[in-house]
Structure 1
């Protein structure tokens, strides 16, 4: 087994990762409900999706107790920063090497100190329970370093638009994602619509000296590097799992448009 904590494995700290770790398939969930007297059952107001918690049984099998302590100290120095705060890192499992969580230590480490070894559990938490693909979709190339078992496909993500047309974007994950959209060039008016869910936005008076960046995840729109949220009229575009046809129409359009995103999984 070779679970990766950032750029390291447990072996790099002088530890042995044992079998039997905990890797939840879904995060914590809790229902928002309301009981009404005289009414059977509960009214549901949606579900809260929480964190994922991981646990790894680990041991240090060295007869020298001073060396055992040095191994544990190396691990602690990695898990915490210089201000004694838990450090976040990419958590990658060897049976799913193309995806990662952002995790950190979540509980006290209490070794059982035996005659020739120490054994303990390392508890981690991913407060964002999403699994992310290793690289952005536009960086996937044939023959690249992407693990061979990955179910992702190389595709175009940058387009030259000089007339009304529809472009295809693939979301190979199982979660909806909001891409970073970069627009440069000129257009009197512009309408961008995902025909899969009809999410649409419009813009007017796009000029070459002020490229536009739309950050869907952070609800930010900049024009020429200046925050201009009012430039966008309508919705931020979502990419639904599977094939998404993006309709790009307008007047006087002569644009370069690119979409940047990282595939996400439950």
Structure 2
């Protein structure tokens, strides 16, 4: 019997690959047989993450996800080296917290740019390649996973920019799923709760810790290594009939129909 989750021979693009969830996705995807093209703004963390992996199966790309030309060049380079791109994980993200009445336009725009505009650029660049392959007769399609958050479903005090962006990602996911389903391109979102990454250090700190844990039925944070299994499942043939969905991986932090 074939394993349910395998990425053997596939090429996956991962944004925000230098640390946290992005690095964990990269490590697991390579472990499952994939080639990975990792993008990150921080050269030092990206190269440190990539140096532990087989050099013939990874391409590090330093730059901003908001750069549309970088996205197009990266897709071209990955196709030239590996032959095709089969998956994309839009993971890059930032936070710029402030209460609504105190938030600056720059704080708002920075978060919107990375989470929404950046995701659009990579979704478009990789999607164009997948559509072209499909029109040329390749039935393999592809899989795209957008990393959203419970904040996009329930709001987040002090982070209207982040909550709005993460809600917007779910709209992008559903639209791409409807437009590209005919090409066998699957697009899904994963909504994380509180994962042990640098981005969640504040909410996991002494001031908020007990209150946050009380809202999580499983009573603990998750590790990046734990939650990225779901991402790799959605990239694999094990999820071949799943598209347009928002899968919560949150310990029960947000529960809905």
TM surpasses 0.5: no
When you count strand as a share of all residues, which structure comes out higher?
1
> TM-score, normalization: structure 2?
0.25
- Greater C-alpha Rg: 1
When you count helix as a share of all residues, which structure comes out higher?
2
